[in-house]
Amino acid sequence: MNNMLNAIDDVLLMGPGPSYIPPEVYEAMSKKTLGHLDPYFIEIMDEIKKLLQQLFKTTNNLTVPVSGTGSAGMETCFVNLIEKGDPVLILINGVFGVRMQDVATRLGAAVDALEFPWGTPVIPENVKGKIEEKAYKIVAMVHAETSTGVKNPVQEVGALLKGSDTLFLVDTVTSLGGIEVSVDDWGIDAVYSGTQKCLSCPPGLAPVSFSDRAVDVIMGRKSKVPNWYLDMSMVANYWTGKKRAYHHTAPINMLYALYQALLLIIAEDLDNVWRRHESAHATLVSGLETLGLDMVVEPGYRLPMLNAVYIPEGVDDGDVRKRLRFDYNIEIGGGLGDFAGKVWRIGLMGHTAREKYANRLVDALKKIIR
């Protein structure tokens, strides 16, 4: 029987995730597997928590990676904080805001949605008006909307909620490790991310962090968390308890990979990492403009790590992406939701965020389109 793994090429991942993985991370994954309660592995767990706190810019004790992808992080935050009938406001300007709405609705929350046109940011003044009309248990929004390439004003919305009892829940799946995320300074109570974007780690873990008052809400629930696997009141005993209690078998080798990925980011220094993303983004935008391609998002609200580009009239979306993949070993993403068939999504995430890769893609597009 043929081993299909032998046919896998070294593809330059420039889509909306996963991103290109550094060799050091692959090497870490290949280390010998330890038991999930092994004393040495617990030391690695503790180091991962500290590194995540640095990246999230938080002192939250409950800062851990959940076993699952970024969507598991979303489920974790909502399922632990929502009880039936809770009033929740979701700010929506793309696919992942819609997904938040779906998850909260399935949990029986009384969900209101404040929507904004795709490709444009959330407007804090509109949010202010909405929260003055009604008291919400949770206000939730996406920091980096992966479906459109928009950076939303999380800091400004957090300031609107300061001093209230409302919990602020934020999706940083695409932003963490690529642009600043300041959980404590921005007043964020629950936050989640994913390993496969700017952390340049394979998909499979979802870093989350809960403020002390969010933990109080979880511990003070009237009903049990309806999802056993993601119940942080139990998972916390494995990650933060003085005596570690088994909850489920952690994905040991994936945690090795995350540990190494975080070490690489911290060693490079966060400011340098963010500058590298901005530099690669500027190179890409400049190159795309020379090809006559238009960006979806206005300059002040563009994400450096996820670039949405309008597909030129008369150009076949699928054909271009197929030729990029098989002729040039480059992957980019198509549009999602309202943008399906209308835009390309080009990722400059983590290890992929380098000027040389931006130039390589522009050169390939030039040959294909012209």
What tens digit of pLDDT does each residue of 205-235 get?
999 999 999 999 999 999 999 999 999 999 9
DSSP string across 317-350: HHHHHHHHHHHH-EE-EE--GGGTTTEEEEE--G
pLDDT confidence of residue 329: 96
Q: pTM for the complete prediction?
A: 0.97
**113 pLDDT tier (thresholds 50, 70, 90):** very high
Res. 243: pLDDT tops 90:
no
**For residues 106-125, average pLDDT:** 98
Residue 7: what pLDDT? Answer: 73
CATH class of the domain defined by 4-18+269-369: alpha beta
Which pLDDT belongs to residue 348? 98
* Mean confidence (pLDDT) of the chain: 96
pLDDT of residue 9: 82
CB atoms within 10 A of CB 2: 6
* pLDDT tier, 301 (very low <50, low <70, confident <90, very high otherwise): very high
- Report the interhelical angle of 232-239 vs 70-81 (nearest 10°): 120
What is the model's pLDDT at position 180? 98
The pLDDT score that the predictor gives to residue 4 is: 79
Right CATH for 23-266 from 3.30.465.10, 3.40.190.80, 3.40.640.10, 3.10.50.40: 3.40.640.10
- Confidence grade of residue 241 (pLDDT, cut at 50, 70, 90): confident
4-18+269-369 and 23-266: identical CATH topology: no
pLDDT of residue 62 exceeding 90: yes
pLDDT mean over 1-26: 90
HSE toward the beta carbon, residue 1, CA cutoff 13 A: 3
Would you list the domain boundaries of the chain?
Answer: 4-18+269-369, 23-266
pLDDT of residue 8: 80
Give the integer Cα–Cα distance in Å for 230 and 227. 6
* 1: pLDDT strictly greater than 80: no
Q: What percent of the chain has pLDDT over 90?
A: 94
Residue 164 has pLDDT above 90, yes or no: yes
Q: What is the pLDDT of residue 101?
A: 98
Question: What's the chain's Rg over C-alpha atoms?
Answer: 21
Identity of the residue numbered 31: K
